[in-house]
């Protein structure tokens, strides 16, 4: 198997920017990948301070070594049903490009599985789901070992209206 991956990698067009290392995490029955370069840290679930009057997917704020950062629940962001937090549930702290500069945001996921080196040959463009299904934050689909990992452009996931105004790191 590993062999096929490496041969695929060799045939990959070097110009494909999507190739590279991805952190794979689970959300329901789906697997997603975000660029490792944007991941700052992975931490276990901790007490989240609820901020009142916020959209449901903004869970609140946590203390990341002295910084107060917002935490997003990716399940409710993607419209999945809420799930009980388990021991595998964790917060991935990602660095995203906001309007006012780089920000740190915590993302709650069901669990992280591995870091994969995904070559351009493994990546397929997102299929067209037809009218009304806009998928601007999907980079593409990676087929690894017969399974599909959905590659997320986390910048764009966060770049929806209510998140544009998240605190910048400098704050």
Partner 1 sequence: MSHSEGALASLHETLDDLAGRAMLVDDEPAAIAPLLAALSQLASHADVAGCTALSETALELSQDASDGDSLRQGLLQLQKVLESESKKAAEAAPVEDAASSGSLGSDPDLLNDFIVEARDHLANIEAQALTLEQDPGNKEAVHSIFRGYHTIKGLAGFLELGAIQTVAHEVETLLDMVRNGQLSVTPAMVDGILAGADYLKTETNRIESMLAGGAPKRPAANDALVKRVHALMASKPVESTAPAAELIPVKATPVEAKTPEIVSAVEPEVLPAAAVHEVSANEPPAREVKKAPESRIVKVDTAKLDFLVDMVGELVIAQSMIRHNGDLSSVTNASLQRNLAQLSRITGEVQKTAMSMRMVPIGQLFQKSVRLVRDLTRKSGKRADVEIFGEDTELDRTIVEDLSDPLVHMIRNSADHGIEMPEDRVKAGKPAAGRITLKAYHQAGHIVIEISDDGRGLVREKILKKAKERGLVQDGAHLSDKEVFNLIFEPGFSTAEKITDISGRGVGMDVVRRQIQKMRGRIDIESQAGKGTTFFLKLPLTLAVIDGLVVGVGAERYILPIFAVREIFRPQPDAVFTVENRNEMLLTRGKLLPIVRLHERFAVEPRSREITEGVVVVAESAGKRFCLFVDELIGKQEIVIKSLGETFKSVPGLAGGAILGDGRVGLILELEGILGDIAHV
Give the residues lining the site for partner 1 (CB under 8 A): 47, 49-54, 58, 60-63, 65-68, 70, 100, 103, 162-163, 165-168, 170-171
Cα 102 to Cα 106: distance, rounded to the nearest angstrom:
13
Contact 113, 25 (CB under 8 A): yes
Closer Cβ to partner 1, 21 or 165, answer by number: 165
Contact 25, 38 (CB under 8 A): no
Q: Give whichever of 20 and 167 is closer to partner 1, judged by the CB atom.
A: 167
Nearer to partner 1, 12 or 48 (CB): 48
Sign, CA torsion 54/88/140/107: positive
* Residues whose CB falls within 8 Å of the CB of residue 164, separated by 6 or more in sequence, listed in order: 98, 99
| 54 or 148: CB nearest partner 1 | 54
């Amino acid at each position: 198997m590993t062999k096929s991956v490496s041969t695929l990698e060799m045939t990959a067009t070097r110009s494909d920017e999507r190739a590279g290392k991805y952190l794979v995490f689970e959300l329901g029955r789906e697997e997603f990948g975000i660029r490792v370069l944007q991941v700052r840290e992975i931490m276990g679930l901790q007490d989240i301070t609820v901020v009142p009057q916020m959209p449901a997917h903004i869970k609140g704020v946590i203390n990341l070594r002295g910084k107060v950062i917002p935490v997003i629940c990716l399940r409710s962001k993607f419209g999945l049903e809420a799930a009980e937090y388990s021991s595998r549930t964790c917060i991935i702290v990602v660095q995203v490009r906001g309007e006012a500069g780089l920000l740190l945001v915590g993302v709650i996921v069901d669990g992280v599985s591995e870091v994969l080196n995904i070559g351009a040959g493994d990546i397929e463009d997102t299929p067209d789901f037809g009218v009304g299904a806009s998928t601007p934050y999907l980079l593409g689909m990676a087929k690894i070992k017969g399974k599909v990992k959905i590659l997320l452009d986390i910048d764009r996931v966060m770049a929806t209206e209510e998140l544009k105004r998240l605190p910048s790191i400098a704050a």
